[in-house]
């Protein structure tokens, strides 16, 4: 693969993916197409090789802009661009439908009309809803769709559009569904960087409900490697679940962060629960392991250590991300607690 088009490449996972591409594919040229919403951060692109990485500011819902930026002989289009935060989708779903659903269709149409060789849709385990708290219950690629939030419903709709484009128009498409990512450059609205930022400033850590919800955590670079392998080796039309077999309860995650930073448990605050809060996610990554030869490289301990070290060393990035509009969101989300 040489010519690559990445959407949402100024966000958390997209920027990690662009870095991975530049490191692992010496001959590749990347167009990074991103609208720079509140979650898109030019700081995330600092230091990238301008000879192989070209940033284009644009909205995936803007057909003309997409057609203008996508080159005719693109080898693969990777769609990371999305509204990605569940709590924001509960406040208002409009942008989620626009970007995640309409935007995906615009990209599929553009990929088809300009002959992009492969379309990779970066999806989420949340399209499969919530699992019972049983040791033998896992998400597989055959699990039924059961999205519970406006965010996950919009991502499920996007997956349906990708499937339909493959089935009806023969678009060569692959879908990956991953669990909760953590690592450098994650916007501090998400639980892990929010905890890190608050704990480092001796501010309280809001834990929703009873703190016993389970998430399946994966280091962002491991997710990115799986996406690259899916593009290189995945079957057209296939879905691959991606997870590091790393289920943790939220309270356990919060306590690990406090312990690693040497901060007291008294910073924990139980606050009102997220409406419709999914209880448990747990991914069976067997298909990706067998068909793609993928394995995570980081353990929870090594990934968390790298993440904490990155945030500790990048206080300026964090301060900028927590400024301005973030404060308004924080007040609206946590103010009443």
- Does 181 help bind ligand NAD (rule: CB under 6 A)? yes
Burial of 114 (0-12, 13-18, 19+ CB in 10 A): middle
Q: Are 58 and 65 in contact (CB under 8 A)?
A: yes
The partner residues of 122 in beta bridges, in order of sequence, read 176
Measured on CA atoms in the order 93, 95, 98, 103, is the torsion positive or negative? negative
Q: Are 192 and 182 in contact (CB under 8 A)?
A: yes
Helices (H), the chain: 12-24, 63-69, 86-91, 94-96, 104-114, 150-169, 191-200, 220-233, 250-261, 286-287, 300-313, 315-321, 325-334
CA 67-9-225 angle, 5° bins: 115
**What SS3 class is residue 235?**
coil
Q: Which of ligand NAD, ligand DAU, none sits in contact with 103, Cβ below 5 to 8 A by type?
A: ligand NAD
Q: Which of ligand DAU, ligand NAD, none sits in contact with 36, Cβ below 5 to 8 A by type?
A: ligand NAD
179-183-185-187 Cα dihedral, nearest 10 degrees? 50
In the list 4, 6, 21, 39, the residue contacting ligand NAD (rule: CB under 6 A) is 39
The span from the CA of 10 to the CA of 317, in Å, is: 14
- Does 176 help bind ligand DAU (rule: CB under 6 A)? no
- Does 218 help bind ligand DAU (rule: CB under 6 A)? no
- Does 80 help bind ligand NAD (rule: CB under 6 A)? yes
Smallest separation, CB 189 to ligand NAD (Å): 8
In the list 78, 281, 294, 311, the residue contacting ligand DAU (rule: CB under 6 A) is 281
Smallest separation, CB 218 to ligand DAU (Å): 9
Q: Name which of 3 and 215 has its Cβ closer to ligand DAU.
A: 215
- Does 178 help bind ligand NAD (rule: CB under 6 A)? yes
Q: Name which of 243 and 267 has its Cβ closer to ligand NAD.
A: 243
- Does 230 help bind ligand NAD (rule: CB under 6 A)? no
**What SS3 class is residue 82?**
coil
Site string for ligand DAU, 180-199 (x = CB under 6 A): x---------xx--x-----
Stretch that binds ligand NAD, among 28-36, 107-115, 196-204, 302-310 (CB under 6 A): 28-36
Q: Are 219 and 296 in contact (CB under 8 A)?
A: yes
Smallest separation, CB 263 to ligand NAD (Å): 24
Site string for ligand NAD, 87-106 (x = CB under 6 A): ------------x---x---
Both tokens assigned to 298: 């980081």
Which are the catalytic amino acids? 125-126, 151
Q: Are 68 and 130 in contact (CB under 8 A)?
A: no
Smallest separation, CB 316 to ligand NAD (Å): 18
In the list 84, 105, 241, 250, the residue contacting ligand NAD (rule: CB under 6 A) is 84
In the list 4, 6, 12, 192, the residue contacting ligand NAD (rule: CB under 6 A) is 12
Contacts with 51 (C-beta within 8 Å, 6 or more apart), sequence order = none
The span from the CA of 196 to the CA of 217, in Å, is: 16
Q: How far is CA 272 from the centre of its chain?
A: 25
Which chain residues interact with ligand NAD by CB under 6 A?
Answer: 7-8, 10-14, 34-37, 39-40, 59-61, 80-82, 84, 99, 103, 122, 124, 155, 178, 180-181, 187
Which chain residues interact with ligand DAU by CB under 6 A?
Answer: 84-86, 124-126, 179-180, 190-191, 194, 206-208, 213, 215, 250, 274, 281
């Amino acid at each position: 693969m040489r010519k690559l088009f990445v959407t949402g490449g100024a966000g958390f996972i997209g920027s990690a993916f662009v870095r991975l591409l530049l490191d692992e594919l010496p001959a590749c040229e990347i167009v990074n197409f991103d609208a720079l919403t509140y979650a898109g951060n030019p700081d995330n692109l600092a230091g990238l090789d301008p000879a192989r990485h070209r940033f284009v500011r644009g909205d995936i819902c803007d057909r003309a802009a997409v057609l203008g930026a996508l080159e005719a002989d693109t080898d693969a289009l990777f769609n990371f661009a999305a509204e990605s935060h569940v709590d924001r989708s509960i406040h208002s779903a409009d942008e989620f439908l626009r970007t995640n659903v309409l935007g995906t269709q615009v990209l599929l149409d553009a990929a088809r009309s300009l002959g992009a060789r492969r379309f990779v849709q970066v999806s989420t385990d949340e399209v499969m809803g919530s699992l019972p708290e049983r040791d033998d219950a896992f998400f597989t690629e055959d699990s039924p769709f059961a999205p519970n939030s406006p965010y996950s419903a919009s991502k499920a709709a996007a997956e349906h559009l990708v499937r339909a484009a493959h089935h009806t128009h023969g678009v060569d498409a692959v879908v990956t569904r991953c669990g909760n990512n953590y690592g450098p450059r994650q916007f501090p609205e998400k639980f892990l960087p929010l905890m890190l930022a608050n704990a480092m400033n001796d501010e309280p850590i809001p834990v929703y409900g009873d703190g016993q919800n389970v998430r399946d955590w994966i280091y962002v670079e491991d997710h990115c490697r799986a996406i690259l392998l899916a593009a290189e080796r995945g079957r057209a039309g296939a879905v691959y679940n991606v997870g590091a077999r790393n289920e943790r309860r939220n309270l356990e995650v919060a306590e690990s962060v406090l312990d690693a930073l040497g901060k007291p448990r008294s910073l924990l605050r139980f606050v009102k629960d997220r409406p419709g809060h999914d209880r448990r996610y747990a991914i069976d990554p067997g298909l990706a392991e067998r068909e793609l030869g993928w394995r995570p490289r980081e353990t929870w301990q090594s990934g968390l250590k790298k993440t904490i070290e990155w945030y500790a060393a990048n206080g300026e990035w964090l301060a900028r991300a927590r400024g301005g509009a973030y404060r308004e969101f924080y007040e609206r989300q946590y103010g009443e607690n």
